[in-house]
Amino acid sequence: MSVKKYPSLFMLTVTVIFVPAYAQEVLPFPPKASGSKAAYSMQESTYSPLAPSRHLPDDAPNILIVLIDDTGPGQTNTYGGEMNTPTLSAIADEGISYNRFHTTAMCSPTRAALLTGRNHHRVGSGQITELANDWDGYMGVIPKSSATVAEVLKNYGYSTSAFGKWHNTPAMETTAVGPFDNWPTGYGFEYFYGFLAGEASQWEPQLVRNTSYVEHPKTSGGNDYYHLSEDLADDAIYWLREHKALAPDKPFLMYWASGALHGPHHVPKEWADKYKGKFDSGWDEYRKRVFVRAKEQGWIPENAQLTPRPDSLASWDSIPESEKPFQARLMEVFAGFAEHTDAQVGRIVDEIDTLGYRDNTLIFYIWGDNGASAEGQNGAISELLAQNGIPATIEQQIKALDSLGGLDVLGSPKTDNMYHAGWAWAGGSPYQGTKLLASYFGGTRNPLAVRWPEKIKPDTVARAQFLDVNDIAPTIYDILDISPPKEVNGINQDPIDGVSFTSTFNDSQAKEVQTTQYFEIMGSRAIYQDGWIASVIGPRLPWVPGTPSGLKDWNPANDQWELYNLNEDWTQANDLAEKMPEKLTEMKKLFLDEFTENKGLPVGGGLWIIAMHPELRLAPPHTSWAFPGAITRMPEVAAPALGNKENLVTVEVEVPENANGVIYALGAFSGGLSLYVKEGVLSYEYNLFEIERTHIRAKEKLAAGKHKIEVETTYVEKKPAGPLNVVIKVDGKEVASGVVPISAPLLFTANDALDFGIDLGSPVGLEYFDDAPFKFNGTIKGATVNYLSLEQEQKK
């Protein structure tokens, strides 16, 4: 079954010890006892404190886990790609690499498995947190019965820190008031700096330090601008220096999970310009070049086959010539983004080496929490266009881009660009699939480089043992010679699913330790055992726009399975299902056994909201809100849905002469809405992902004094993305109205917010972009938001 036998000891030698020297079944450790003996008076007492308790071996290593987001094996030149990643190459050259290491095909599930050592459904993470539901495997909360590696190591004496993307906290718990049990600091990380959502603008992120929302610094990385990846490296370096100064006797665990290379693809122009012209031949030719180079480098075997492009994905030749510069520039920006991110990892590694930690620091550099992302579909200047199902031609987007400054604007704060799915498919060379497909290695196979100079001898021979992301935590436990606790903080613990792969560190031919592993994301699924894999694509392809026809009636029992002999077929190129029906039946039964054991049922449970019940999509439980003053930084996912619910916003304001500034804003420059005053004129903007902006303006200036401003939003035609009527009143009198032709049915952003009195983060409005954050020069006395449908029902 899925519960693997746990290795008893870290073995770089043949010595076998069956009882871990540092076994502790219950955590935390009991408090240190006093060695002193108290009597009636101090003179009669004996003062003799015991030596400090130590629960780790004297040579316990420091540990750095680097997790890059949304990238495939064919995108780094370390393993055959064309994006320069010198830090990854250095880690690989100074250590070892694994070419059959696997993730889950989606971010939140991979992170949960990485941190706990368990399969993602077992820890309630079968889907991203924003799509959580009530099935056990999809609740979106890592149970405290599966303690993270940070929680365990903290109890053993490690200093623990996390930086960057988290995405394992229920979305409704991400506001400034928590609760905080499921934030990083509630899972064993003593320090956290980053963001809680699935993505963030690299230019204007909404950030958290421990349990408080904070503003990012004005500059980063020693530059005169700000960039999130640089800021995360700056903060990690500062933390390392503090640790060296204040706790040099303690080893550290650092989890550095960059928001890159997830969309939006943001990078300074000079980094993107390094790749000018390099992708003009398109994704089909790029994929072929990577395939040849990966073989030359020994990253894939000589008998590996290059799998073909699926018919449902556009060829480069089919792209109109007028659109190719746009598509090529999207890839140039991504490539610069990749190199820039790797450079930030390099700064952290250099700091570790400079501080004297090099030899005894174990580094796991994971190139991708899943395969490269096809979520950009046909390419986009605002990536949530696709997620909202808004139809927009590339011609429309290029026209909108031209109005902002043309191709050079891609990667800047004025776009949330995401490349064409063809580039993601090419980045998974030579495998089938992309992110979100758990059936194919293009969605699940990500390179892993490991460096530990004190214990691992550099070796350029790629380790080909089949491994999973859930193997990282038990490998760390094995190295430290500690056994996973049976109880943590009073809660009995779930079994560990991963296995230690320390036996492979200095032996490239070591016996495979991970013999069975299932995969499943949104109905796309596979089962691996002893060199065989059976797989099912599932009901949807991530690069195809829109909802597949018949999705609501999809029955996994009718899916067509495929079967591959990986000992002879490295890339899942030759389907043996028809030739070997008995073997396929055996593998299908194994999948169901494993999936059931790990709380994965129902099959495709992650689609419950997307396919079956969109009305249950994540939303605040409230229908009315009261904001006493200028409240800011309310995550959009937890805020009133002002852009797609019938609502009435009422704001009490005190207006000065020559009024300017934002009354309220929801979202970002890539998509959102805003009510603001510009040179005394009250204005409203509905920004539909940059392709269409609706401006509604009062004809007269807003007089100085106290006013009640009301904005009423109702549907012209109540349907997803339907047009909206917007009416603006001041002191009960209508001053402006208009129609928003198309609305955003889901969310404008993943990580921006609702602000009153200012537009923090990325500014929504085009008219005040250069004046951001455009703080209101009057006073917001208070505001209320009410959903109108409820009020109307009450009136009936």
**In which band, very low, low, confident or very high, does the pLDDT at 4 lie, cut at 50, 70 and 90?**
very low
The answer to which of 9-23, 49-63, 164-178, 321-335 has the lowest mean pLDDT is: 9-23
Give Cβ neighbours of residue 200 (< 8 Å, ≥ 6 apart). Answer: 165, 206, 207, 228, 259, 750, 751
| Tokens (6 digits) for 541 | 């392809």
The answer to which of 5-14, 423-432, 636-645 has the lowest mean pLDDT is: 5-14
The answer to which of 234-248, 476-490, 586-600, 612-626 has the lowest mean pLDDT is: 612-626
Mean predicted confidence (pLDDT) in 35-46: 97
The string of DSSP letters for 694-752 reads EEEEEEEEPPSEEEEEEEEEEESS-STT--EEEEEEETTEEEEEEEESS--SS-S-SS-
Element (H, E) at 785: strand 779-787
In angstroms, rounded to a whole number, what is the distance separating the alpha carbons of residues 500 and 486? 18
| Tokens (6 digits) for 8 | 């008893």
CA dist 62 → 191, 255, 352, 476, 646 (Å): 16, 11, 10, 11, 53
Q: Is 675 helix (H, G, I), strand (E, B) or coil?
A: strand
Are residues 729 and 629 in contact, defined by beta-carbon separation less than 8 angstroms?
Answer: no
Q: Could you give the angle at which helices 394-404 and 324-354 cross, rounded to 10 degrees?
A: 60
Mean predicted confidence (pLDDT) in 593-613: 94
- Which pLDDT does position 22 carry in this prediction? 64
- Which pLDDT does position 7 carry in this prediction? 40
Mean predicted confidence (pLDDT) in 482-500: 97
Q: State the chain's mean pLDDT as an integer.
A: 95
pTM of structure: 0.95
Shortest CA distance to 646 belongs to which of 753, 537, 723?
A: 723
Element (H, E) at 96: strand 96-98
> b/e for 503-537, b at 16 or more Cβ within 10 A?
bbbeeeeeebbbebbbbbbbbbbbbbbeebbbbbb
Are residues 75 and 81 in contact, defined by beta-carbon separation less than 8 angstroms?
Answer: yes
Mean predicted confidence (pLDDT) in 305-330: 98
- Which pLDDT does position 21 carry in this prediction? 56
For 214-253, write each residue's pLDDT tens digit: 999 999 999 999 999 999 999 999 999 999 999 999 999 9
Q: Is 789 helix (H, G, I), strand (E, B) or coil?
A: helix
In angstroms, rounded to a whole number, what is the distance separating the alpha carbons of residues 459 and 469? 21
> b/e for 376-412, b at 16 or more Cβ within 10 A?
bbbbbbbbbbbbbebebebeebbebbeebeebebbbb
**In which band, very low, low, confident or very high, does the pLDDT at 20 lie, cut at 50, 70 and 90?**
low
In angstroms, rounded to a whole number, what is the distance separating the alpha carbons of residues 513 and 613? 41
Q: How far, in whole angstroms, is CA 243 from its chain's centroid?
A: 27
Sheet holding 634-635, edge to edge: 634-635, 753-756, 661-668, 671-678, 681-688, 692-701
Q: Which residue has the tokens 């079968």?
A: 126
By DSSP bridging, strand 634-635 and strand 753-756 are: antiparallel
Q: Would the pLDDT of 5 be above 60?
A: no
- By CB neighbour count within 10 A (0-12 exposed, 13-18 middle, 19+ buried), where does 48 fall? exposed
Percent over 70 (pLDDT), the chain: 96
**720 vs 649, higher pLDDT:** 649
Give Cβ neighbours of residue 375 (< 8 Å, ≥ 6 apart). Answer: 263, 383, 386, 387, 418, 421, 435, 436, 542
In angstroms, rounded to a whole number, what is the distance separating the alpha carbons of residues 262 and 67? 12
Give Cβ neighbours of residue 724 (< 8 Å, ≥ 6 apart). Answer: 686, 713, 714, 715, 716, 739, 740, 743
Q: How many CB atoms lie within 10 A of CB 615?
A: 7
The answer to which of 21-25, 146-150, 442-446 has the lowest mean pLDDT is: 21-25
Q: Would the pLDDT of 121 be above 90?
A: yes
Q: Is the peptide bond before 61 cis (omega within 30 degrees of 0)?
A: no
- E strand map for 414-571: 448-451, 467-468, 487-488, 491-492, 516-521, 524-529, 532-536, 562-565
CA dist 399 → 63, 403, 712 (Å): 48, 7, 31
Q: Which residue has the tokens 């109005």?
A: 403
- Which pLDDT does position 610 carry in this prediction? 84
Q: Could you give the angle at which helices 107-116 and 149-156 cross, rounded to 10 degrees?
A: 30
Q: Would the pLDDT of 331 be above 60?
A: yes
**17 vs 758, higher pLDDT:** 758
In angstroms, rounded to a whole number, what is the distance separating the alpha carbons of residues 752 and 164? 16
Task: Please provide residue 746's backbone torsions phi and psi, each rounded to the nearest 5 degrees.
Answer: -110, -100
**693 vs 23, higher pLDDT:** 693
Task: Please provide residue 511's backbone torsions phi and psi, each rounded to the nearest 5 degrees.
Answer: -60, 140
Q: What angle do CA 731, 735, 741 make, to 5 degrees?
A: 125
Shortest CA distance to 167 belongs to which of 109, 237, 89?
A: 109
For 365-405, write each residue's pLDDT tens digit: 999 999 999 999 999 999 999 889 888 899 999 999 999 99
In angstroms, rounded to a whole number, what is the distance separating the alpha carbons of residues 8 and 567? 29
For 135-168, write each residue's pLDDT tens digit: 999 999 999 999 999 999 999 999 999 999 999 9
Q: Would the pLDDT of 13 be above 70?
A: no
By DSSP bridging, strand 467-468 and strand 101-102 are: parallel
In angstroms, rounded to a whole number, what is the distance separating the alpha carbons of residues 269 and 57? 47
Mean predicted confidence (pLDDT) in 248-264: 97
Q: Could you give the angle at which helices 324-354 and 86-93 cross, rounded to 10 degrees?
A: 50
**In which band, very low, low, confident or very high, does the pLDDT at 337 lie, cut at 50, 70 and 90?**
very high
| Tokens (6 digits) for 17 | 């010890």
Are residues 436 and 377 in contact, defined by beta-carbon separation less than 8 angstroms?
Answer: no
- The length of the chain is 796
Give Cβ neighbours of residue 654 (< 8 Å, ≥ 6 apart). Answer: 705, 706, 707, 778, 779, 781
Q: Would the pLDDT of 12 be above 50?
A: no
For 653-703, write each residue's pLDDT tens digit: 999 999 999 999 999 999 999 999 999 999 999 999 999 999 999 999 999
Q: Which residue has the tokens 């077929």?
A: 569
In angstroms, rounded to a whole number, what is the distance separating the alpha carbons of residues 595 and 584? 16
**In which band, very low, low, confident or very high, does the pLDDT at 8 lie, cut at 50, 70 and 90?**
very low
| Long-range residue pairs from 741-745, CB within 8 A, at least 24 positions apart, any chain | 741/692, 741/694, 742/390, 742/688, 742/692, 743/643, 743/644, 743/686, 743/688, 744/384, 744/388, 744/390, 744/643, 744/644, 744/671, 744/688, 744/689, 745/388, 745/389, 745/644, 745/720, 745/721
Are residues 469 and 519 in contact, defined by beta-carbon separation less than 8 angstroms?
Answer: no
Which amino acid, residue 782?
Answer: G
- Which pLDDT does position 605 carry in this prediction? 96
